[in-house]
Amino acid sequence: MVSGAEERGVIGPRLTRADFAVGAEVLALGLLGRVLVRRLESGEVLAGRIVETEAYLGVQDRASHAYAGRRTARNESMYARPGTSYVYFTYGVHHCFNVVCGSEGEPAAVLVRALEPLLGIDMMRSLRGRPGAELNELCSGPGKLCRALSIDRGLDGVDLVRESRLWIADSSASREGAGRASDQSFVRTARIGIDSAGPRWAGRLLRFCVGTSPHLSVPIAARPGSVPRLTSRRRA
């Protein structure tokens, strides 16, 4: 269990509707440094600082579940108000958490891909089923962070502006100037795992990371293509 004082030291004011009513690229950058907060049924609070996101732009984005206006029971939340959660199940095992943004009816969203664990770390390890997990590996991926925070389809479609079980807050530490995205070096890369969307969309730099974070799903330096290809350099 986490004390109220401990929570106040980490979790600032909750984001409002207006914070989410922006384009996916703006929100993907804007979420870096904020805190994803989960309150379990027991009352225990889990929280992590968002260090990696991806923007999914809308019906024109081949990599989006809403490409070409696809709208089914699975992705219905993408068409809801900005600030709605979109949680989907994939690979038969994993859940992924997104924040719907833009304007209602336009299915833009931001995938949260990695967190720096802040509160409830032992509970996160327990929920992951890895009591000895290193801090850096605890929430370093979209499926991992959902498992660590006990996020599943039961939290699909909830309103993050009002919901008591799940929301996004400013970092209170950040107000002291220690964690805002604008104070961080951030990095844009291609999105992860969407090669089948074709080179036009797979190549766009729609993944946003706090460049200095050790909690990323894929280290910046290890991204294929993020480093110039030595073999194809001309003009030596």
Partner DNA sequence: CGGCCGATCAGCT
Partner DNA sequence: GCTGATCGGCCGA
What residue ranges bind DNA (CB under 7 A)?
Answer: 54, 56, 63-66, 70, 72-75, 78, 86, 89-94, 96, 98, 109, 111, 128, 130, 137, 141-145, 191-194, 196, 217
Nearer to DNA, 139 or 181 (CB): 139
3 state DSSP class of 211: coil
Give the Cα-Cα-Cα angle 33, 165, 126 (nearest 5 degrees).
Answer: 80
Structure tokens at 109: 């969203």
Nearer to DNA, 95 or 174 (CB): 95
Give the nearest distance from C-beta 129 to DNA in angstroms: 8
Residue whose C-alpha is closest to residue 138's, from 109, 211, 147:
147
Cβ–Cβ under 8 Å, residues 96 and 151: no
3 state DSSP class of 87: strand
Nearer to DNA, 128 or 180 (CB): 128
Distance CA 147, CA 2 (A): 19
Give the nearest distance from C-beta 110 to DNA in angstroms: 8
Give the nearest distance from C-beta 78 to DNA in angstroms: 7
Nearer to DNA, 10 or 24 (CB): 24
Burial of 43-82, coded b for 16+ CB within 10 Å and e otherwise, reads eebbbbbbbbbbbbbbeebebbbbbeeeeeeebebbbbbb
3 state DSSP class of 110: strand
Nearer to DNA, 9 or 219 (CB): 219
Cβ–Cβ under 8 Å, residues 116 and 46: no
Give the nearest distance from C-beta 13 to DNA in angstroms: 26
Give the nearest distance from C-beta 103 to DNA in angstroms: 17
Give the nearest distance from C-beta 93 to DNA in angstroms: 5
Nearer to DNA, 136 or 172 (CB): 136
